[in-house]
Amino acid sequence: MEMRNLERFEDVEKIRKSDAALVEISEQLRANGVNMDSSARSQIGNYIVTIEGIRIFNEIGLALAEENKGKPVERPELADRLEVWFMSYKEQWRSTSREGDLHHISDIIFWYADLLRGRKRSKVKLG
């Protein structure tokens, strides 16, 4: 699979620093949540789910950059993380959005999960 714009994933150290910053933000949100009013506190879970999704997709981008260099992508543990994250994301989605659109996102998530497990990729068009 030819990947475009993967040069931004070439700087692994930059991605790792960004990941560390996201972890720190998550920890700060959790720690400061007890001091927030209830309306703000209720959003923390959504922020945490969003941050975890960013972290996972950054890691997927790194895996794809490796595949672009000829290394096979077989990261079943990352596929598991993606699917577990998606379960939380679906709950978040259902609280704010229409159920009917969720299947499009599901197609993308499971396409990536298959890729990370080294399975044959579905023919679903992602772009």
State pLDDT tens for residues 72-90.
778 999 999 999 999 999 9
Count CB atoms within 10 A of the CB of residue 56: 20
The DSSP element (H or E) to which 110 belongs, if any, is helix 102-116
Count CB atoms within 10 A of the CB of residue 102: 15
Tens of pLDDT, residue by residue over 1-18, are 445 555 555 677 888 899
pLDDT of res. 41: 84
Instruction: Tell me phi and psi for residue 121, to 5 degrees.
Output: -80, 145
pLDDT level of residue 71 (50, 70, 90 thresholds) = confident
